Amino acid sequence: MAYALGIIGVIAILYGGGQIPTGNYIIAEIAKQLLKLECELYGVHKSFLGLGDENCYERFTIQRAREIQFQTGTYLSMCRKVDPTSKEWVDKIFETLEKFDIHKLIIPGGDGSSRAAAGLIRVARRFKYPLQIVFLPCTIDGITNSETIGYYSAVAESLRHTICMIANSFATWHPDYVTPRIPIIEIQGRNRNDISVGVMREIYKLGKIGKYSLNDFNLIFIPAAYEWSFNDLLRKIYSNNKETAIIIAEGAKPIENYWDAISGNSVGERLKNIISAGGIRECNLDIIGYLSQTNDSIPNAELNLINDWVAFAINAMAKTERSIAVIKDGDKFKTMSLTKFAKATNSQDAISLSEDELKEFENNLP
């Protein structure tokens, strides 16, 4: 992609979301593409908190970008739940930006970060400080009918955990029980249903886990925002002599009223406690978020997508002075107002599965 002319001045990158396997690759790719254009570039450590601390600004080089590309952990680090528009921080932020003569920020992050960025733009107008923010939605948050950076890696990483969990549970026998442990895999994150569906589809493609074919065990899938019955789940577990594995999305709550009286901080933990309470079956629990940062499950499709996404974002930055989010809708990238994007992400609910998706997995639903 040929770059548009017009990127001048100093640019800063900060990382605004939770950790994902592709976090460092995104930061590195932004840095490499901007540095090839001979931009002066800083990486801001500690996210929005670091914007007001000149000690958190690191002058980036191509060598540094190459070094952090496949490191574990998020190189720029983050600070959650910091409101950059609060009186405590806002003066420091604009003083520091002015000191470095920075008027352009690129922020990859999740929905909370997009709202913080939109708030920063509102304050910048009040301060009459010219500031442009280009936002790249990642960490598996976003708006309906648009992709986010990190989805493919989240599915790959969650699938890896799921396969290991099921295979190890089925191979571990308790001498007092007739069957192996029941593995319960709880998948967390705003778009946990999308990730869970991706994991289920990949398991279908594999056709087996370890030495077990899909016909050899009960694979139970419980999405969030789906009406399910714990009693039906128990019947599914005990209706035959097969092993059972359960993939459940964060927040899934059954119709039985007694569920709220069960101890446990997460839906997976509650499920484990109530199944194990009868002393008949033993459960293992693994909670998988998109926060895993192992960097060993990044598909090539994700890497190619990031490269193209960043290139489009840099072009968009050069063509406008507005603050924008760069989203992928179908096969195309497009821009939208950062304020509009931030409003569209303001939800705490999981995106429900469609009727077609539910039908696809009806044999696995309790």
CA distance 282 to 290: 26
Q: Which tens digit of pLDDT belongs to each residue from 200-256?
A: 999 999 999 988 999 989 999 999 989 999 999 988 888 887 889 999 999 899 999
DSSP character at residue 321: S
Question: 3.40.50.300, 3.40.50.150, 3.30.70.1400, 3.40.50.450: which CATH number matches 10-150+297-344?
Answer: 3.40.50.450
Torsion of CA 284, 290, 295, 298, to 10 degrees: 110
236 Cβ contact list (under 8 Å, min separation 6) = 218, 220, 244, 366
Q: What is the rounded average pLDDT of the residues 162-184?
A: 85
Equal CATH topology for 10-150+297-344 and 151-289 = yes
CATH class of the structural domain 151-289:
alpha beta
Give residue 280's pLDDT band: very low, low, confident or very high (50, 70, 90). low
CA distance 52 to 93: 4
First CA to last CA distance, the chain: 48
pLDDT at 291 over 60: no
- Is the Cα torsion angle 4, 9, 15, 16 positive or negative in sign? negative
pLDDT at 292 over 60: no
Residue 131 confidence (pLDDT): 96
Residue 296 confidence (pLDDT): 63
Choice among 38-42, 174-178, 302-306, 312-316 with the minimum mean pLDDT: 174-178
Residue 81 confidence (pLDDT): 73
Which has more confidence, 3 or 187?
Answer: 187
Tokens at residue 307, please?
A: 């490269």
Residue given tokens 């890497």 in the structure block: 303
Cα distances from 80 to residues 17, 18, 116, 235, 307, in angstroms, run: 8, 8, 11, 42, 26
* Burial state string for 217-247 with b = 16 or more CB within 10 A and e = fewer than 16: bbbbbbbbebebebeebeebbeeeeebbbbb
Q: What is the rounded average pLDDT of the residues 20-34?
A: 90
Which has more confidence, 175 or 138?
Answer: 138
User: Do residues 41 and 28 make contact, with C-beta atoms less than 8 angstroms apart?
Assistant: no
User: Do residues 157 and 294 make contact, with C-beta atoms less than 8 angstroms apart?
Assistant: yes
CA distance 10 to 30: 14
**Phi/psi of residue 189, each to 5°?**
115, 155
Residue 294 confidence (pLDDT): 55
pLDDT at 348 over 80: no
CA distance 236 to 239: 5
Q: What is the CA radius of gyration of the chain?
A: 23
CA distance 67 to 24: 10
For every residue of 278-305, DSSP letters joined together read TSS--EEEEEE-TT----S---HHHHHH
Three-state DSSP string of 22-62: CHHHHHHHHHHHHHHCCCEEEEECCHHHHCCCHHHEEECCH
* Average pLDDT score, the chain: 88
Q: What is the rounded average pLDDT of the residues 33-55?
A: 94
- Strands 217-222 and 243-249, by their bridges, are parallel
Q: Which tens digit of pLDDT belongs to each residue from 81-129?
A: 778 899 888 999 999 999 999 999 999 988 888 999 999 999 999 989 9
Give residue 306's pLDDT band: very low, low, confident or very high (50, 70, 90). very high
Domain boundaries, the chain: 10-150+297-344, 151-289
Torsion of CA 239, 240, 243, 244, to 10 degrees: -20
Which has more confidence, 58 or 188?
Answer: 58
Residue 176 confidence (pLDDT): 72
